[in-house]
């Protein structure tokens, strides 16, 4: 069985500060890992994904995440937060086979202070 844990249901940063959203996973097989973002009144949008190629994955809007197998982590970072980054972020894992269901973490709401 797979599971995803996101540490911190709410994270607050100042504009221009580093964003770090934590995600740890457990999986019996090498996983595919994803970060999604949900802006108010919108659907989830894919930020980036890890699919066993490069361990450092770059996504949209300046976000990136690093897959660390030894730590079973896939933390999301952005060097400098912008007000428009305020949203809810979800880490998800999918098995390395067909049947593409996603298993999500609980979500982290990012607040950006001016």
Q: Which residues bind other proteins (CB under 8 A)?
A: 4, 32, 36, 41-46, 49, 51-52, 90, 94-107
DSSP E strands, 27-107: 32-38, 44-50, 56-58, 64-68, 73-78, 87-94, 102-104
The smaller minimum CB distance to other proteins, of residues 28 and 97, is found at 97
Strand 19-26 with 32-38, pairing? unpaired
In the complex, what is the shortest distance from the CB of residue 44 to other proteins, in angstroms, rounded to a whole number?
4
Token pair, residue 7, equals 């540490």
Tell me how far apart the alpha carbons of residues 17 and 57 are, in angstroms, rounded to a whole number. Answer: 20
DSSP state of 42: S
In the complex, what is the shortest distance from the CB of residue 82 to other proteins, in angstroms, rounded to a whole number?
23
The smaller minimum CB distance to other proteins, of residues 3 and 84, is found at 3
Pair 60, 14: CB distance under 8 Å: no
In the complex, what is the shortest distance from the CB of residue 34 to other proteins, in angstroms, rounded to a whole number?
9
The smaller minimum CB distance to other proteins, of residues 45 and 84, is found at 45
The smaller minimum CB distance to other proteins, of residues 51 and 77, is found at 51
In the complex, what is the shortest distance from the CB of residue 108 to other proteins, in angstroms, rounded to a whole number?
11
């Amino acid at each position: 069985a797979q599971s995803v844990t996101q540490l911190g249901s709410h994270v607050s940063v100042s504009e221009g500060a580093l964003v770090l959203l934590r995600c740890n996973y457990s999986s019996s097989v090498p996983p595919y890992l994803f970060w999604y973002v949900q802006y108010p009144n919108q659907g989830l949008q894919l930020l980036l994904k890890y699919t066993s190629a490069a361990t450092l994955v770059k996504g949209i809007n300046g976000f990136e995440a690093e897959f660390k197998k030894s730590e079973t982590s896939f933390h999301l970072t952005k060097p400098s937060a912008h007000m428009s980054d305020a949203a809810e972020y979800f880490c998800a894992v999918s098995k390395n086979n067909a049947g593409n269901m996603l298993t999500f973490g609980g979500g982290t709401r990012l607040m950006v202070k001016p």
